[in-house]
Amino acid sequence: MHPITHAQTRPDHPAMIMAGSGQTVTFAEMDAYANRFAQLLRARGLKRGDHFAVLMENNVHYLQVVWGSQRAGTMMVPISTRLTAPEICYILNDAGAKFLLTSTRYAEAIEGIRDECADLPLLIVDGEGEEDYEAALAAQPAEPIADQAPGQYMLYSSGTTGRPKGVKPAPPEDDDILATNPLMGLAVMGAGMPADGSMVYLSPAPLYHAAPIGWCTTAQRLGGTVVVMEKFDPEHALETIEKYKITDSQWVPTHFVRMLKLDPEVRTRYDLSSHQRALHAAAPCPVPIKREMIEWWGPIINEYYAGSEGVGMTLIKAEDWLTHPGSVGKAIHGTLHVCDAEGEEVPAGQDGLLYFENDLIPTYHNDPEKTREAMHPKGWMTLGDIGHVDEDGFLYLTDRKSHMIISGGVNIYPQEIENLLVTHDKVMDAAVIGAPCPDFGEKVVAVVQPIDMAEAGDALEAELRDFLAPSLSKIKMPKLFDFRAQLPREANGKLYKRELRDEFQKAAEQQTEQA
């Protein structure tokens, strides 16, 4: 199945609806748009395998651009909209992008890009002259290009531990643009998504991330309607489920936290009875949060663990989660291996570095060393996570290897502390990091976003310490609580812990210099 087929058999069926504006695109309209964009790519000199970049908000163009690239055999590079101009230019240069498609919403970044990437052509939504994207697109015919080929996208890591790296997928196995892909099988057989075109799929996250692009395009391959939220808002998400009779959706744990922190009267105001399947991923969900969500929405919440690399995936349905709380399931794509520091597989119940074995292994663009570091001698690939499997074969994630704190020679995993903090009724978000400490090497620091900043201070710190004490040993108890109105978190749920660690590292260095 493919949108081309749906454009022929169900031309007037909505392929996409923007949740806020209600702007609707039918499969026939999306088919014509995708053909025009493929023509535009060829007119701009892009051939199969060439790269171009996209820096846009969630808008009516985004998914249609994805489908145009998918017909032209090009490599689309989605860029995070929270990045600065120098960070964007690093990705543009590293990827070898032939042009950047963006919008006037990023006018400030665009000026910086003009300075640092002066020779890079720009196409701008609502732009002017030669950079007017809509005019350039409208000038192209809506006929298929003569040399159609399956395109791909190269996602860049969030840069949480250093410079972002492009995840270059293995070449497609089939040159037929109508060929199915593994995610379709996982969607239908694993997640239970319908293949009869009845799906109405809600995407509340930014489209430049792996999960929104992957699941939205899969929903459209299956003939479903994708409802895209311009920006996540907890109450608006519930309102959207009711308004469009959403059947399927995909979330991250921070979405759950924000919806659960709504006033109970608001939470129960909307009819969610159409909602049949809810996927979530991006970060492990705290057990109390997941349990409360299942109590609210019913056993419709399925969790998966995967990465932009696409080498493997686990899945757990609500029924299994209730008997294995905290698990992210069993592998449904790739073969899972849990290994010690020497690369030997460890028994059930013992933490180790997680690897996936798969026939198709990606590489990190322009970074053979990072690729090498991610590989097991047997050819398996790690996403950098630590965890273990239980006797039943269910996987539990402990934390990112790069997030581990070593204090006084003891390994401390921040995720455990963060998962506790966000369940406190006065905490909206929390990040736990290791900061320099002359006595222990590193000390545990909790950076906390209160629901009400007016409550930040010594009294709340004491309350949080009392709250954590029954569950944490003394070595894990944060030595410092730092209250902030906002944390550097991506809209896909990932924390930019590197920014926090760098900040505390710099402060420690300044203290040393002054001493």
> Which residues are CB-neighbours of 419 under 8 A, at least 6 positions away?
284, 286, 287
| Phi then psi dihedrals of residue 279, to 5 deg | -95, 150
Q: Give strand pairing partners of 152.
A: 75
Strand segments, DSSP code E, in 215-276 are 225-228, 248-251
What distance in Å separates the CA atoms of residue 364 and residue 374, rounded to the nearest whole number?
9
User: How far apart, in whole angstroms, are the C-alpha atoms of residue 37 and residue 64?
Assistant: 8
Please list the alpha-helical segments (H only) found in 403-496.
Answer: 414-421, 458-468
Q: Give the pLDDT score at 174.
A: 84
* 23 touches 193 (CB < 8 A): no
Q: What is the DSSP string of 424-441?
A: STTEEEEEEEEEEETTTE
Q: What is the pLDDT of residue 184?
A: 87
The structure tokens listed for 44 are 């701009």
Q: What is the pLDDT along the chain (515 residues), one digit of tens a residue?
A: 899 999 999 999 999 999 999 999 999 999 999 999 999 999 999 999 999 999 999 999 999 999 999 999 999 999 999 888 999 999 999 999 999 999 999 999 999 999 999 999 999 999 999 999 999 999 999 999 999 999 999 999 765 556 788 999 988 888 999 988 888 888 898 889 999 999 999 999 999 998 999 999 999 999 999 999 999 999 999 999 999 999 999 998 889 989 999 999 999 999 999 999 999 987 778 899 999 999 999 999 999 999 888 899 999 999 999 999 999 999 999 999 999 999 999 999 999 999 999 998 999 999 899 899 999 999 999 999 999 999 999 999 988 888 888 887 778 888 889 989 999 999 999 999 899 887 778 899 999 999 999 999 999 999 999 999 998 888 899 999 999 999 988 776 677 888 888 898 888 887 777 76
Classify residue 440 by burial, with Cβ atoms within 10 Å: 0-12, 13-18, 19+: middle
Indicate the domain borders of the chain: 3-14+22-179, 404-509
pLDDT for the residue 236: 98
Q: How far apart are the C-alpha atoms of 329 and 396, rounded to whole Å?
A: 8
Residues 388, 328: contact at Cβ < 8 Å?
no
pLDDT given at position 379? 95
Q: Please measure the distance between the N-terminal and C-terminal CA atoms of the chain and give it in whole angstroms.
A: 67
Task: Report the alpha-carbon distance of residue 350 to residue 210 in Å, rounded.
Answer: 30
Q: Phi and psi (nearest 5°) for 220?
A: -70, -35
Specify the DSSP element, H or E, that contains 214. helix 210-221
Print burial letters for 236-251: b (CB count within 10 Å at least 16), e (below 16): bbbebbeebebbbbbb
The CATH homologous superfamily for domain 3-14+22-179 is: ANL, N-terminal domain (3.40.50.12780)
The per-residue pLDDT for 515 is 61
pLDDT at 159: 54
Q: Are strands 155-156 and 166-168 parallel, antiparallel or unpaired?
A: antiparallel
Paired tokens of 202: 């809600």
Provide the CATH topology of domain 404-509.
GMP Synthetase; Chain A, domain 3 (3.30.300)
Per-residue pLDDT at 297: 97
Q: What is the pLDDT of residue 492?
A: 66
In which residue are the tokens 């992008």 written? 97
Q: Which of helix, strand or coil describes residue 190?
A: helix
Is 291 in contact with 325 (CB distance < 8 Å)? yes
Separation between Cα atoms, residue 263 and residue 353, nearest integer Å:
40
One-letter amino acid at 309 equals E
CA distance 479 to 421: 14
**CA dist., res. 465 & res. 467, Å (int):** 5
CA dihedral 47, 308, 345, 303 (to 10 degrees): -140
Pairing label, strands 277-280, 248-251 = parallel
Say if CB 426 and CB 463 are below 8 A apart. Answer: yes
Give the span between the Cα atoms of 14 and 10, in whole angstroms.
Answer: 9
pLDDT at 289: 92
